[in-house]
Amino acid sequence: MVVFVRHFFCGSCQDYVATLSSSIPSPASLPPGVNLVVIGCGASSLISMYANTTSCSFPIYTDPTGRLYSIFGMTRTLTLGPMPDYLRHSTFSLVIKGIRQGLGRTFNGDALKSGNMAQVGGEFFFEIGPEKENEKQDITVTWCHRMKTTRDHIEVPALKRVMGFE
Domain locations along the chain: 2-162
pTM value > 0.85: yes
Residue 132, CA distances (Å) to 34, 62, 79, 137, 138 in order = 20, 30, 45, 7, 9
Length of the chain: 166
CB 62 within 8 A of CB 44: yes
CATH hierarchy code of domain 2-162: 3.40.30
Query: Which residue stretches of 36-155 are H helix?
Result: 47-54, 67-71, 91-104
Share of the chain above pLDDT 90, in %: 88
Q: In the prediction, which pLDDT does 130 show?
A: 85
Which has the minimum average pLDDT: 39-48, 56-65, 89-98?
89-98
